[in-house]
Structure 1
Amino acid sequence: MEENYLKLCQKILDEGVEKSDRTGTGTKSIFGYQMRFDLQKGFPLLTTKKVPFGLIKSELLWFLKGDTNIRFLLQHNNHIWDEWAFERYVKSPDYSGPDMTDFGLRAVEDKEFREIYRQEKDKFCQKILEDDEFSASYGDLGNVYGSQWRHWQTKNGETIDQIQDVVDMIKHSPDSRRLIVSAWNPEDVPTMALPPCHTLFQFYVADGKLSCQLYQRSADVFLGVPFNIASYALLTHLIAHEAQLEVGEFVHTFGDAHIYNNHVAQVQEQLSRDIRSFPELKLNQEKTSLFDFEMEDIKIENYQPHPAIKAPIAV
């Protein structure tokens, strides 16, 4: 199944059009693509490069808690959302350190600046962990995924718990065509640190199996998509576990699927590697609700990937 992902990478390299982007990095891009993963045949954690499953677990649990502050992530040594919180801080009147304009690109191109940036971001993360007031001001990312999934705000001032609602429908109305969760709330998009890339997902129950289809409007294929595949596969497993169903397929549908220009060499290296067997997912069978799962309740076994491949993140 991993060949589905590698075929996408190759298609973008071969056929992608050059496009500018918000970060100024530039991409090769295609529009409209779909991959399918049979979750009965193994857990889709890529093997052509090591994908850090601990980060995927902690991020998904963060979403499921309805949390939007990076403090929880930092407590679990997860730094994948740091840059967006840090960007908000350095643009604020409270920041008085070195100039951090375009820090993402400059950190790649300038070794001396990269060290200054690292020091400033480390100080920022430490302060998020230690200072409640600072964390409340600059650790929060706005109404990102966790908020939309668990606390969607209505025009009447009420909240909708979309995850709980969809779980209840899967249990009691499994043939419904409304098993949908949306993270794209047009009213909240302007105030989010990063508008949702994975915007909407739908579940489908057939033959005692739960499948999930994700629509992703924007996909960083080298860095982000391996996380997205594993995260939604894990979410499908967790909900299937609570609903006492087997897992079916994860269907990944893309809008703009792109490779950043400064990721091309890394993608080519990954494409040169052989595919290995997917690992197995093990869940704590004593937990009955997906909201009760903690890090130690979710494990993978027999994961033997190629080494990780580093690449800069575009902010």
Structure 2
Amino acid sequence: MSLADTQYLQIIENILDHGYYANNRTGIATYKLPHQVMQFNLAEEFPILTTKFVAFKTAIKELLWIWQLQSNDVRQLQAMNVKVWDEWMREDGTIGKAYGYQIAKYKQLDNLLDMLQKDPQSRRMIVTLWNIEDLPDMTLQPCAYETLWDVTDGRLNCMLIQRSGDMGLGVPFNTAQYAALVHMIAQVSGLQAGQFTHVINNAHIYENHVEALRTQLERKHEALEAPVLRLNPEIKNFYDFTPEDITLEGYEHLGKLSMTVAV
């Protein structure tokens, strides 16, 4: 059974059994628990759910849009047949000064890659999308907003901090894409992927997702083995990755579960 399913479904069960019920800005009430954590050894397993389908290729395209293209232009995503940001697109085609814009603004990825080469024992390897000055000019302030990086014994470790986590839709997507990011950055830095920790400050389940997630919980004992992530070994520069260079081998799942995104 995939460790992603084990850890994720435990959080889902805890929220449904013990979560605090409250309203929020979206108008759709949630059940929530603070400070939920999942942790994976990426050398042993790739964390993606098997108890429901996770759109891995879509997740990878969004990841490259943020980290490689360092873009805030939704039209670039639409050109890749990805529509996950359509609800937040402004008339100018952008999401304001959010996500990839902040990586580009301060050359944060380039700085991280440089530190991994020149000072891998630095304790200051942080990429943050939470720029207080620019927050008012974002159509959605970043949810998965910060990564902290560490190199130990030739392995690249990463902690992803998420201020707000839609457990039904967003979190499975974010876990898979950031685990892939660790593998990608490790490869181009001459390292192995190590520990990946996903911290969610406000882990919530929207009221209209409860039925689908209860169905997923019923699949718990049918969970399958985790797939294997394959990267094109020829890629030595992060900016050379394409979606075709990042694949899952043996990804089997128990089918889609329909949930509506809360805007």
Query: Normalising to structure 2: TM-score of the pair?
Result: 0.95
Q: What is the CA deviation profile of residues 69-111 of structure 1, one whole-angstrom value per residue up to 9, with x for unaligned ones?
A: 11111111111111111xx45xxxxxxxxxxxxxxxxxxxxxx
Query: Are 2:231 and 1:280 aligned?
Result: no
Shift of 1:150: 2.0
Question: Partner residue of 1:209?
Answer: 155
1:1-315 equivalent positions in 2, closer than 5 A: 1-2=3-4, 3-64=6-67, 65-85=69-89, 88-89=90-91, 137=92, 139-151=93-105, 160-273=106-219, 274-315=222-263
Gapped runs of 5+ residues in structure 1?
A: 90-136, 152-159
Which is helix-richer, 1 or 2?
1
Shift of 1:287: 1.3
Shift of 1:42: 2.1
- 3-state secondary structure, aligned to 1:40: coil
Letter of the structure 1 residue corresponding to residue 41 of structure 2: D
CA distance in 1, matches of 2:161, 2:242: 27
Question: Partner residue of 1:126?
Answer: none
Letter of the structure 1 residue corresponding to residue 252 of structure 2: Q
Q: What is the CA deviation profile of residues 36-77 of structure 1, one whole-angstrom value per residue up to 9, with x for unaligned ones?
A: 011112221211101011101110110121111111111111
Letter of the structure 1 residue corresponding to residue 81 of structure 2: N
Letter of the structure 2 residue corresponding to residue 149 of structure 1: I
- 3-state secondary structure, aligned to 2:43: helix
CA distance in 2, matches of 1:27, 1:208: 41
Letter of the structure 1 residue corresponding to residue 98 of structure 2: V
CA distance in 1, matches of 2:20, 2:108: 36
CA distance in 2, matches of 1:282, 1:23: 38
Letter of the structure 1 residue corresponding to residue 23 of structure 2: S
Gapped runs of 5+ residues in structure 2?
A: none
Identity of aligned residues (%): 42
Query: Normalising to structure 1: TM-score of the pair?
Result: 0.80
Q: What is the CA deviation profile of residues 230-286 of structure 1, one whole-angstrom value per residue up to 9, with x for unaligned ones?
A: 111011011000111111111011111100000000111111112211111111111
Shift of 1:174: 1.1
CA distance in 1, matches of 2:35, 2:198: 11
Count residues with an aligned counterpart: 257
Task: Give the superposed CA RMSD.
Answer: 1.0
